[in-house]
Amino acid sequence: MNLRRTKFVRAIRYPIEGAIFYFIYYLVRFINIEICSALVGFLAKKIGPLTGAHRTGQKNLKAAFPDLSNAEIENILSRVWENFGRTIGEYPQLKNIQIYQDRRFEIIGAKYIDQLRNDGKAGIIFSGHLANWEVAIMAASQRGLELAQVYRAANNPYVDRLLEAIQGERGNQVIRKGKTGARQILQVLERQHHLFLLNDQKFNQGLAIPFLGYPAMTATAAARMALKFDCPLVPVQVERLQGFSFRITFYKPLEIQKTGVFREDVKLLTSQVCASIEKWVKQRPDQWLWIHKRWPEEFWEKKIKKS
């Protein structure tokens, strides 16, 4: 991005985006959550295909599933945008939801949360950007698990401040990724508390780990911390069933194998994390954020040429 464009984005686009985001947030927080979910989902389904992110999604899907027709790719992306919009529309009112008293939520494997809560050790829960990933955090914390949420700051600082405030409303500590965040993560685990993080976004300082057919630069913090503190690493999958209703599945902790070479152990465990998320994406491809640039562009081109 050149300097002139950077100045334009910071001075003009970011404030406009922020104003729109705040307007929608304060408008919909008083609307029934199911209506709000459907409304913002509908809008996203109409607007999303007009954006550059839609083209990113097309390339990602074509690379990951070369046998899909263009019509099938567009059908998946339509539902991806709807799910993404629903997730945004649900954000403002999630703090009012009591998951274990709400029939719209099916919880599987809650015993693994109880084990984390009662074992007297630090612990880590990981997921991906599937369905509404925020409800997984709520399912853990509303079962009495003291939890800190690690998140990547939004590029737009106005949007980021609002998202951080929304996440903090649910009573969990919020930790931004970065140097300061890394120190906070250590402090959380040293106190034998627990972390929740999403491990499916591109992270250039990570390791190249196979994901949906090609190496993807992946954060290794979850694996490093699990090995360092000898603590459980628990996968959680979220599926949107219909409208505002979900299945949340907690799985048994990943098996941690130690070869005696820390870097190799980190790579092996991070590969298990990616394999878990890949399995969920294949099960529900219409609920993952394909619109994120997960792979370098050369991998898109190579995969598409092969097909």
pLDDT at 169 over 70: no
pTM of the model: 0.88
- CA 107, CA 250: separation in Å to the nearest integer? 8
Distance CA 73, CA 286 (A): 10
Burial grade of 268 (CB within 10 A; 0-12, 13-18, 19 or more): middle
Round the CA-based radius of gyration of the chain to a whole number and report it: 19
d(CA 63, CA 185): 35
Sign of CA dihedral 253, 257, 258, 262: negative
**What is the average per-residue pLDDT within 73-89?**
96
pLDDT of 302: 57
* Total domains, the chain: 1
pLDDT of residue 171: 62
Burial class (CB within 10 angstroms; exposed 0-12, middle 13-18, buried 19+) of 16 = exposed
DSSP 8-state class, residue 130: B
Taking the C-alpha atoms of residue 204 and residue 241, their distance in angstroms, rounded to an integer, is 33
Is residue 11 very low, low, confident or very high in pLDDT (cuts 50, 70, 90)? low
Question: One-letter amino acid identity for 145?
Answer: L
Domain assignment of residue 137, given as a range:
3-306
- pLDDT value of residue 304: 47
Tens digits of per-residue pLDDT, 191-250?
Answer: 888 999 999 998 888 999 999 988 999 999 999 999 999 999 999 999 999 999 999 999
Taking CA atoms, 292 is separated from 52, 56, 58, 289, in Å, by 11, 7, 11, 6
Q: How confident is the model at residue 184 (pLDDT cuts 50, 70, 90)?
A: confident
Statement: residue 1 has pLDDT above 60: no
Average confidence (pLDDT) over 176-197: 84
Q: Are 112 and 252 contacting, i.e. CB atoms less than 8 angstroms apart?
A: yes
Mean pLDDT of the chain: 88
Contacts of 155 (CB under 8 A, 6+ apart): none
